[in-house]
Every structure is written in C-alpha cells, then in structure tokens.
Amino acid sequence: MHRGVVAAQIQVFLCVSVGSIRGTDFEKVLANERELKNNQKKLQDVVQKMTEKEKENAQKVHIESRASTVARLRQWIHPPEFALEFENALATREEGTAEWLFSDPTFVAWKSRNATGGPRWSKDMVLWIHGNPGSGKTILAASTVQELRHDLDENICYFFFRANDPDYEKSEDAYRSILAQTLQFHHNDPCLLDKFAFMLEEQSCGQSKVSAREALDMIKLCATDGYIQCILLDGVDECTDWHKLVNASSGLPAALFASATKLLLYGRPHLGAQPLLSQCTAVEVGDSTSKDIDILIRRRLECFVDEGLLPRDVNVTELCCRLHTGADSMILWAHLMLEYLSSYALTTSKRIDIIRSVTLPEGLDKMYDRIVETLLNKASVEQQLSVWFLMWLSFSSRPLSAAELRVTTMLIDVEEPARAADFTNFELTVISTCASLVEKSQMLDSVQQKIVPCYRLIHLSAHEYFRTRFSKKAQQFMLTPFDAHHKLASCCLQYLCYLGPMKCLENVDGQSLEAASFDERFPFCAYASLYWTHHLLEAEEMIKDEQKTSFAGTTSPSSDRLLNDLLPTITQFLARSELLSAYIQSRYTFRDSSGEQCVMREWAERVLQRYASSKQSVEAAQILQDLYDFAAYLDLLDREWGTKLSLSPSLIWHEVTAFTPCRFFPHNETRLYPLISPNGRHPNLSSKPFSQISEVNKEQNLLSILTIWPSRYTH
C-alpha cells in the first residue's frame, strides 16, 4: 500500500517536471492517493479491533478460568448453607434492639485492638459473650456481624451452630463455612486462589471434600496472611465437639494464635470454665437486654390496643412493668408471652388477668407449661395434630422439610392416608395448632440440592423441654422420649409398608431413578429408609440404661409393649419381598455407603438376648431372628454388591437376588448359557478377569454378562 502511494507521488513529480501532465491524470492520481490513504486507515482500524478483541478474549478466558477455579474450590470446601441461620436470626430482630453491645466499653476496646498475635492473643483478641438460654444471643450475634461488616475492606466470617441439625452442629461445619466466606470475599485475589488450589492439588489427602484438619490448616494460612479479620461463632455450646473447637493447642484458637484475626464467641455460661474462655475478655448479657425487652413489650402492647385486643384506656406502662418482671432478662420469654397473648381465643379481660398474674420472674419452663396448657384445652383433633407435629420436630433424627412433615400426617390414619393429609393450608395448620412453639424456616434439601421450607421449634430450650426436662404439664401432653422414638420407628416402617414404593423405580432407558426424582415421587422415603432403625436403637438405649426409665417421676412403658406394637409391622415388612427390594433400592439411592443394617442387627440381637433370658413368646423370638438374618443379608449385599448397587440401586430387582439368594426373596430359576467352551477357559488366560459388565433386557428375564479375560502373561 505504501509502495503504491510513493510510486504515484513519483509519477506526479515526473509528469510535472517534464510539463506533460494533464489535469485529468492529476485528478486521477490524487483520487488514487486518497483511496490508498483511506484503505490504510481502514487497515489500521481492523488491526486495532483485532488487538482489542484478542485482549477481550484473553480477559474472558482468564475470568472463566478463575470462575472455574473458584467453583472447583467451593465444591471441595463443601460448606453448609451457613447464610440461612444468619438471615433467619436477622429477620427476627426488632428494630432498635440488640445495639447495647456496640457501646459496651469491653466490646469497643476489643474491636479497636490491633494485636499481631502471640502470648497475649487469647487475652486481647478473643471476646466471650455469654448469656442464659433465651437471652437473645443469636439475634445479638447476627446484629454484631452486620455491625462489623460496615467496614467493607474487612473479611468478617461467621457461623451459627444449631443443635440436632447434622449440617450445623460440628466444628468442621464452621471451618468449611469460614473458608467459603474467605474464598468469596477474595475471589479476585490470584494469590489466595493459588494457595487454595495448591492445597487442593498438592496437599490434600485426595478426598472429594476438604477434611477438618485440612480446613483448619487453610484457616491458619489465611489468618496468618491477613485474609481474615474476624471470626464470629454463635451457639458454641450447641456444637457437638465444642471442646475440640475452642482447644487452644489444637482447635481454632491454635490456627489463629500467630495472626491478627479476632475471635468472637457466643454461648451459654457453663462453658466459661474452659481454659481459653476463662482467660479471655468476657461480656455477660445479663440485664443488658432490659432496654430491648422494654422496646419489644411496649410496641406489641400498643399494637394490641390498636387491634382491639386490649382496651384503649388500659395502663400500658403498668402491663409493661409486669411482663418485664416476668421476662427477667429473657427476650425469648417476652416473645413467647406476647405470642401467647395474641391468641384470639383469649378475651380482653383474660389477657389483662394473665399479665397481672405475673408478679415474679418466670423461667422458660413456666412459659412452656403455660403454652402446653393452652394446647391441652384445644379440641381433640387440634390437640392430636399439635402432639404429632411437636413429636416429629422434637425427636426426628434430622430436620424434616415441610413436604416430609406433611407426608407424616398420612400415617395418622394409614387406612385413609389421603384424607389424613388433606389440609387446605398446611402452613397455617402447623403454626396455629402448635401455638408459638413452632416457626417456619428454611433448610437445604440434601437430595434436591436446593433451599426448601421447613418448620422447627422456636428455640433449643423447647427441644430440651420436651426431650429431657419433661415437666408434669408436658407429661399430660407429649409422649415420653421412649414412646416418641418407638412411635417414630413404627411410623417409618408403616410408611415403607403402606405408602412407600412397591416396584422397581427406573427411567424409560432402564437406568435407576435418580435420587431427586425418587424423592419427588416419595418425599418421605429417604427418611423412613435411613432412620427407622435409629429410632429403634434410641428406644432400646433407654431400656438398657434403666429398665424403668424415669422422666421427672414417670415410668417408661415396658419393652414388651414396644415389641407388641412393633412386631406385627416388622412381620408384614419381612413377609413381602417387593417391600424389601424397594427398601434396599431406597437405601442405596439416598446413601452410597449405608450402615443401617448394623443398627438393625444390633437392636435385634439385644432384644433376642432379653427374650432368650425371659423365655417369652417363641413367635416373637422368630420374628426377631428373621430381622437379624435380614440384617446379615444386607451385610452380605454390601460386601458383594455394594459398589454396583451404589451406582445402580435398581439392580436389586434384577440379577442381585439371582446370584446372591436369600430366603426372604422368591427363588429365581436361573440358567447359565456360557459363550466360552464348556471345557473351560484357555490355560493361557489369567485367573482374574480384566473387566466385567452386565445388562438386563427390557422384558427383565434375560441377563447378559460380558467378561474379558486377559492373557496370564499380562500380570
């Protein structure tokens, strides 16, 4: 292009110099020159756009690579849905409350410290905030997270422990959550991503998710390098291994000791004797919540007046003082009492009488007794439902989703399950029948891998009220813990017998039904299959510890009644091979490595020994022996077919029982048609097959097995 321009210019010069140039030729040359310059500009624009596009593509590849790395690391860290508890706590906060802590001199001094770690770390950088049950610690903790996060440059990590919830009750759950929050906060930091990726690829033990020790090492690395400014843990007493969590030599404090990371812990006072907590700075909640309680009570009473629940000429200040006295620094008590008073079953004068009857501080148990007394006065149908819901929410082995809880109501009447669960508004039914003891919440459905609605007891103290303390009022209302576990085990078995699957569940292509699809069709099957034996063992443990288990003076039902109620269902369960096959498919669908047979075998063995010593019913002993034998068969399946059943649980309906027979399944007439010579394998073949695959035809009457035998010299 440049060469053409120069040549044209030379031609012009020559023409001018000899005086032979014509006007038209000159114009033509100038036009060519302009065109060439225009083409040159276009070429430059194209080159510039290509350069910009190349940079854009390179940046896009970098962003995608970084996003892929973050996703891979997040999958390895595998945190629980930690934000749910934080958001739930924050949602219950009354405006203007939970702010007293931020002006407390001890908190202000702790927040302003900038130590660099060392011998004084536990004294300077750890703050222990403790209070009695119901004092509002969780709401206070959520408010503290919000307060500390006003500094957008600081990574404030948190975790809220929750008792009786497998995803929120272990120290490693907290470690995973801390790492996930740190990864999210610094997801654009290539240095941190490189450190995490190195730990995954070079330092991990090869598990699909990070181990507790690896997680703690990574937290130490992040804290030392300044990636974490503060860690807040609420409900430390609800952590099953809290003593390991706060151990100064091997727990979280050991990982933070050499860093400038602050540690903020919330929990009940009885942990204060632990070495770390006894040395660090502490704040007692105590009477500090007095102003918060006043705000809560006054606002609600004024709303009662506006809604006509209290007369307009009532002395609100007097009623506030009464309720404040009863609360005795417990926000939960005030909340429960106000919910109790909001019932439309109470008259205006009755509300005033109840408030004025409070003259001394009342504990939470007194408040729970008052609510239970209300439930006892309800109609029998409502009372039956409230007992049912509270039983499941108090004694289930893991939290139930709203869908699972609804299915359980079908078991109230197994003869007409559809009518038993035909509620116009299930949410309203649960909340209203259980008064203020139950609240709606959210949970992660581990099968569906999504957030789903659920219901839970209002507080850990409510769990303890029904499970351990069991007051006289509760005895009149709720089943004993022994009876509750017995009932739940029976319900799970009844579900498997009457409402669970009774045929092979496969896709149209013959593959086993995926866990999510299985769960959509049978929402309660996962729980019933995996936990009915756990409830059996819980009841048996109570018999073992004390033959006449006592709860506040009451005597537990005998083990004989437990068996008499349960044995008919066990008999029906073991008598139908399709139920057993469906049960086995369910177990392997919802859990790869299942140990329920160990629990089943242990329970049957214990009860068999007791029956043998008492020389009771031979028929009952035979049923227990059958259950023990079935558990032994499940062990055999795990050893011989465990891997294949985990990959394809529906195999239990096909070749498994043909090659591993059992007296609980009908005998299959199986004939073998080998393709190799009847004289056996060639002597030069290996004694072990290289690979083996199998497939069942659509009619499910022919199983083809292809085995590859390599040369014996390959070994």
pLDDT one-digit tens code per residue, 241-298 = 999 999 988 899 999 988 999 999 999 999 888 888 888 899 999 999 999 999 999 9
The set of residues, in sequence order, having a beta carbon less than 8 Å from that of 478 and lying 6+ positions away, is 372, 387, 390, 391, 394, 466, 470, 484
**pTM, 2 dp:** 0.80
Q: What is the 3-state secondary structure (H, E, C) of 312-359?
A: CCCCHHHHHHHHHHHHCCCHHHHHHHHHHHCCCCCCHHHHHHHHHCCC
Alpha-carbon gap, residue 590 to 584, rounded angstroms:
10
In the block, tokens 């043998």 appear at 612
Query: Distances from the Cα of 153 to the Cαs of 34, 60, 226, 230, in angstroms?
Result: 57, 26, 12, 12
At residue 189, φ and ψ (nearest 5 deg) are -90, 105
57, burial (CB in 10 Å: exposed 0-12, middle 13-18, buried 19+):
exposed
Dist. CA 110–CA 120, nearest whole Å = 13
Closest CA to 341 of 363, 320, 325, 315: 320
Identity of the residue numbered 47:
V
Q: Which two tokens stand for residue 261?
A: 């990371």
pLDDT tens digits for range 650-702: 999 988 888 888 888 886 655 556 666 555 566 667 777 767 676 666 555 56
pLDDT in tens, 560-594: 666 777 888 999 999 999 999 999 999 999 985 55
- H or E element, residue 2: helix 2-18
Mean pLDDT of 42-52: 83
Lowest mean pLDDT across 28-32, 474-478, 655-659 = 28-32
Name the one residue in this structure whose structure tokens are 């319900």. 491
Give the phi and the psi of residue 157 in degrees, each rounded to 5.
-100, 150
pLDDT in tens, 77-130: 999 999 999 999 999 899 989 899 999 999 999 999 876 666 677 778 899 999
- Residue 618 pLDDT exceeds 70: yes
Instruction: Specify the residue for token string 């706590």.
Output: 89
Note the pLDDT of residue 555.
37
pLDDT of residue 148: 95
CA dist 492 and 392 (Å) reads 11
- C-alpha–C-alpha distance, residues 92 and 488, integer Å: 31
